[in-house]
Amino acid sequence: MEEWRYLSFNQCDAFENMAIDEAIFRENQRRKMSPTLRFYGWTNPSISLGYFQDVKNEVNLEFCRDKNIHIVRRLTGGKAVLHEKDLTYSVVAQEKNPLFPPGLLGTYKVINGCIALGLAKLGINADLAQESRSAESLYLQAFCFSTPSQYELLVNGRKICGSAQMRSKGVFLQHGSLLMDFDPQHIYSAMGKSTGDITKEISNLEKQVTSIYKHIDPKINYTELCQLLASGFEEYLGIRLVKGRLTREEGILKEHLLKYKYMSSNWNMEGKAVEWRSKES
């Protein structure tokens, strides 16, 4: 039975969360490590941008400053996510791992199948979207949950989990956001500047999106949810999760990436990466 490293739920700010994910990804490229499953939260409301997004056109910067919403650019592509009442996961593994079919979509299907099995343990029946769907709102098309991509998770036709992925040097990183609750008005205010009908825009969003607490008792906490989701991965893939922590090398690289990349406005606002190198000793 294949063993994966399991990093238990913790909360960090937006910049450290992204630095941790990238450090795991880069060290796996270098050392061909076992897969890692990580669950985490956000200490501040935050917007994570897809790698290619234009922050000035797709985020209301003034609103974010007023509300102390952090903005960080992800290593992965996809659309913007407002991390406020969500649970985030990440999976890092070798592309040639036999548990995953080749290609991005095949990996999406497997990982979201694991999450769907975990949600079923809560009594939430989530289905995989069989095809991508266009956003009803042009204003909110920069928002991840405005439209599902193929094999993303839907509950009664509404998106509950959004994911993004990147691949490089034989390793993939997939991370995603599972909504616990959501505030459509807050999302609407944070994602750009609209000249349209606000009531209609919010109504369109509510038709597209759902969340955990709309289907179950909100008393469940993040730790309990993570345990169920983790068991979904174990059962779906036939693996054993072993609790672990970052390696020394990952920790060093995380701090380097945090200082020189994710705390940099050049990266977060403009997508201009700085040279990164881990220190060997």
Given 12, 64, 114, 144, the catalytic residue: 144
Separation CA 18–CA 8 (nearest Å): 16
Q: Which helix (H) or strand (E) holds 236?
A: helix 222-237
HEC sequence for 2-71: CEEEEEEEEEECHHHHHHHHHHHHHHHHHHCCCCEEEEEEECCCEEEECCCCCHHHHCCHHHHHHCCCEE
Tokens at 186, concatenated: 């807050």
Tally Cβ neighbours within 10 Å of residue 5: 19
Active site residue 12: no
Task: Dihedral sign for Cα 34, 87, 168, 159, please.
Answer: positive
**Which residues are registered as beta bridge partners of 71?**
47
Cβ pair 178, 89 in contact under 8 A: yes
Pairing label, strands 158-168, 153-155: antiparallel
Residue 220's closest CA among 187, 185, 178?
Answer: 178
Which residues lie below 8 Å from residue 273, measured CB to CB, with a gap of 6+?
261, 267
Helix (H, G, I), strand (E, B) or coil at 193: coil
CA atoms within 13 A of residue 85's CA, in its CB half-sphere:
14
Separation CA 221–CA 228 (nearest Å): 11
Separation CA 66–CA 122 (nearest Å): 37
Tokens at 16, concatenated: 């450290």
The residues assigned a catalytic role are 144
